[in-house]
Amino acid sequence: MSTLFSPYAIGPLTLKNRIVIAPMCQYSAEDGEATDWHLIHLGHLALSGAGLLIIEATAVAPEGRISAADLGLWSDATEQALGRVLRAVRRYSPMPLAIQLGHAGRKASSRVPWEGGQLVPVDEGGWRPLAPSAIPHAADEPAPQALDDAGLGRVLAAFVAAAQRAHRLGLDAIELHAAHGYLLHQFLSPLANSRDDAYGGSLANRMRFPLQVFDAVRAAVPATLPVGVRLSATDWVDGGWDVEQSIAFGHALRARGCAFLHVSSGGVSPRQQIPLGPDYQVPLAARIRAEVGLPTIAVGLITEAGQAEAVVADGRADLVALARGMLFDPRWPWHAAATLGAQVEAPPQYWRSQPRGLGALFGDVRIRQR
């Protein structure tokens, strides 16, 4: 039997297999509101047969958007727009749906990637980003505004309100975004955090605000709703955040009831030197899983069925997540099941698509047509 296609439970949430669709920004919202693009995008991914679909990084406040086209969940209007999409998706797919809640911090007010991704200045329609410290992401950018105590309180309250909206929408899990150089990661990394108060300096101080956000979100939603964290295990820069600090962060999160860790890396500094290659982030996930003991999702150039099977079968991670690979092949789980001799859930409208000779890919189905 395939380990990749075996069930797995994250707390009270049981997944039919170990394949996760990672959150992928679409830069297609209008004033934070989900559009028909999200209906199409999430709709077809929800028919893929994966075990869990995580909705893209969703800003908890307007100023927390990476770009002006980011998805948000900070108002009744943004909640209603996303609710419309979710109702349509759920009508045709039983796949569990999670959401990644985040704040871009100093990486906010950017152009969308296909327009270059650079900072949009205030005089060109952008806004001044917020950050732990007045340290720009790139040397040629203006400094962001350092958050004071009142600003920290507003950000924390925004995470709580967005989590409550996610629960009201019936989402099955929440992932807090503490990776890829965004606000919570900025607090963790000494490359972005030079504060001299209780939120900067020592590891305990740099972890303080991300842990406060986790505690507040965990307390704001029912215990039956899993709350996990995505983290960058290393900045890939000397003197930055690293895997040893990630393990300490993981232990602190586990003590607070964190349901899972989704292990990525990088994003906080243009000076990063990332050794790209198949499975390049899996060793980070494996070490964190071994030392922290939380359910762990591995990601990063996992593209082949046998590769994903080996990651979970060998115990290097509990689940594997695909992002770009799933965009390129939205039926990746079907093809992986065919390769591994497993079965996958598919809508009955597509049962006739199974090529002859693959066995019972979609289970013991019966197709009759006049």
Active site residues: 182
The CA distance from 103 to 321, in Å, is 22
Q: Measuring CA to CA, which residue among 40, 160, 158, 59 is closest to residue 110?
A: 59
Tokens of 124: 């060109």
Instruction: Name 177's bridge partners.
Output: 230
Query: Can you tell me the distance from the alpha carbon of 341 to that of 306, in angstroms, rounded to the nearest whole number?
Result: 11
Q: Which two tokens stand for residue 360?
A: 């019972």
Residue recorded with tokens 């295990």: 233
Give the integer Cα–Cα distance in Å for 19 and 37: 23
Burial class (CB in 10 A: 0-12, 13-18, 19+), 281: buried
Judge contact between 241 and 165, C-beta under 8 A: no
Distance CA 99, CA 25 (A): 12
292-323 burial, b at 16+ Cβ within 10 Å, e below that, comes to: bebbbbbbbbbeebebbbbbbeeebbbbbbbb
- Report whether 225 contacts 175 (CB < 8 A): no
Long-range contacts of 307-310 (CB under 8 A, 24+ apart): 307/278, 307/279, 308/4, 308/18, 308/19, 308/336, 309/2, 309/3, 309/4, 309/336, 309/340
Integer Cα distance of 308 and 330 in angstroms:
16
- Tell me the two tokens of residue 321: 């997540």
What does DSSP assign to residue 144? Answer: P
